[in-house]
Structure 1
Amino acid sequence: MSAFQGTSNYIASNDLQLAVNAAIALEKPLLIKGEPGTGKTMLAEELASSLNVELIPWHIKSTTKAQQGLYEYDAVSRLRDSQLGNEKVNDISNYIIKGKLWHAFTADNRPVLLIDEIDKADIEFPNDLLLELDKMEFFVYETQEKVIAKQRPIIIITSNNEKELPDAFLRRCFFHYINFPEKEEMQAIVDVHFPKIKQTLLDEALALFFDLREMPGLKKKPSTSELIDWLKLLLAEDISEEILHETRQKKVIPPLHGALLKNEQDVHLFEKLAFMHQRHR
């Protein structure tokens, strides 16, 4: 298997490339943390694309249980079918709903399994998966069968750090934190999305964007994905670099700021700081 080096759609830092390839070599899940919007989920998508293998995404919610990743037994449907006299009820396997791990374990070719935003689930969720991720097998009690992985899938686990993960789980993972891109790396990321953008416009936009991120007291810093959205709007509305330069000089709120600032507290904070700046000029 060739080493992952990023793709034409995804700029991966050297450290991230090393982490991905180390996790694959060690056959350990890769636990990826970082600010929302730094491309954690997209990493799994682009890794699967670069390896030309299937991506099996499991998006975690607050109500998700580990058992759902293995299988679920649909007792309600079986009861209904028995009341209707349906012959399906004689075979309990008709009511076993296969989960994402089951699909990953039985795939003919080694897939990429994405367990996305694992920190959204309750604190026991990661521990409830330890045995299955370690042994690459699980038992289906209803049918008395053992599901054993044909090969160990490449597992990418993402977390937004909403809650701490158990130590026992962390020990079994290879860990990488995606640092927020520096200006040069951000330039490369933008070039992928907007190869024809005017450099003078981009310079002003990036300067404004990084100024905004460094603003003290900001509740939610704008992310890479929000920068991309903002640039798309700037181009659509034909906002000039002169307007952005003037905005930065006067420290007033940026045009189309709704793409960057996502709550009223941050908008009010910016307006307050801009007002104070104007008073002290």
Structure 2
Amino acid sequence: MRFTSTDSYIATEDLRVAVDAAVLLERPLLVKGEPGTGKTELARQVAAALGMPLLEWGVKSTTRAQQGLYEYDAVSRLRDSQLGDARVDDVRNYIRRGMLWQAFAAEARVVLLIDEIDKADVEFPNDLLQELDQMTFHVYETGETVRARHRPVVIITSNNEKELPDAFLRRCFFHYIRFPDAETMKRIVAVHFPALKPALLAEALSQFYTLRDTPGLKKKPSTSEVLDWLKLLLAEDLSAEDLRRSGAEGLPKLYGALLKNEQDVHLFERLAFMHRSTAR
């Protein structure tokens, strides 16, 4: 099985190699990169390309590793026992399978996405070492050992908000999704907006990369944001010439799709003011 670009996702050569290597080595693929560079979408496209079901485990700051295995609802069991419910005789009625258990028990091989692992507590990755490495875990309430029927393709994403433990990194195949260069971005845009006029695309990407490369920018716009911006430009039926006529404040047309905080808006307003002062 080989991963390639799809009709809706452009994968660079190094990304395709990383996916294939992780599948071959049967190691989790740890994908890092800026928010909005397509890390989560990668897992969906890998599942589609390989013809496998996708299970998504979205990690939050309150997520515990145990939740990926199973959760035992002791409160419900206690309540049912007080009500005389016969279900309390079987503890399995109160065990809820997590995403890892579902992946292990699947009839066929699946893609398991562990999304934004760096949001969780620092110990979260270490708590999954055994399960991801050996593909097995123990259920203490029932005394059973769960083993993966088919080793899932595991894709783990991180926005690099915190460091991950070395022991965890050692068990992963790592890939960093670099921000697309202009040529790759043109291919990405062509997938989403095939009818976009070349002149408008050229001017839009020129302005986008100029904005993105501006020193002092707090939050650089991502791939998803430039796609949103282009969608708005098309909806407003703006031309390349319209884009060149930036407002007096020096901001791009419909800049709200690209700039997401007041500091960056003020930065461009100051730069425009300085440019006008120099030009006098």
Q: Which amino acid aligns with 1:258?
A: G
TM-score by structure 2 length? 0.98
| Equivalent position amino acid for 1:161 in 2 | N
What's 1:196 paired with?
Answer: 195
SS state at 1:278 partner = helix
1:272 aligns with 2:257: no
Displacement of 1:188 in angstroms is: 0.2
Alignment root-mean-square deviation, CA:
1.1
Q: Which region of structure 1 is more displaced relative to structure 2, 172-181 or 82-91?
A: 82-91
Aligned to 1:46: 45
1:261 aligned to 259, 262, 268, which one? 259
- Equivalences for residues 1-281 of structure 1 within 5 A: 2-247=1-246, 252-281=250-279
Alpha-carbon contact 1:54-1:112 (below 8 Å) kept? yes
Structure 2: any 5+ residue segments left out of the alignment?
A: none
Tell me, yes or no, if the aligned pair for 2:2 and 2:50 is still in contact at 8 Å.
Answer: no
Runs of 4+ in structure 1 deviating by more than 4 angstroms, as ranges, are none
TM-score (norm 1): 0.97
Distance in 1 (CA, whole Å) between partners of 2:97 and 2:146 is 11
Equivalent residue of 2:230, what SS? helix
Partners of 1:197 and 1:115 lie apart in 2 by 35
Percent of aligned pairs sharing the same letter: 67
Query: What is the deviation of 1:246?
Result: 2.9
CA distance in 2, matches of 1:275, 1:81: 70
Tell me the secondary structure at the aligned position of residue 146 of structure 2: strand
Equivalent residue of 1:215, what SS? Answer: coil
Rounded to whole Å, the distance in 1 between the matches of 2:223 and 2:167 is: 32
**SS of equivalent residue, structure 1 residue 125:** coil
- SS of 2:108's equivalent? coil
Residue pair 1:107, 1:150 contacting (<8 A) in 2 also: yes
Quote the Cα distance in structure 2 between the aligned partners of 1:80 and 1:9: 49
Residue 125 of structure 2 aligns to a residue whose secondary structure is: helix
Distance 2:276 2:118 in 1: 42
SS at match of 1:31: strand
**1:24-83: CA deviation from partner (whole Å, max 9, x where unpaired):** 000000000001000000000000011111100000000000000000000111111112
Secondary structure in structure 1 of the residue aligned to 2:195: coil
Please state whether the residue corresponding to 1:247 is helix, strand or coil.
Answer: coil
SS at match of 1:113: strand
Distance 2:249 2:34 in 1: 25
After superposition, give the CA deviation of every residue in 1:225-277 in whole Å (9 maximum; x if it has no partner): 000000000111112210212339x8810111111001111111111111111
Secondary structure at 2:109's aligned position in 1?
Answer: coil
Cα distance in 2 for residues equivalent to 1:190 and 1:266: 25
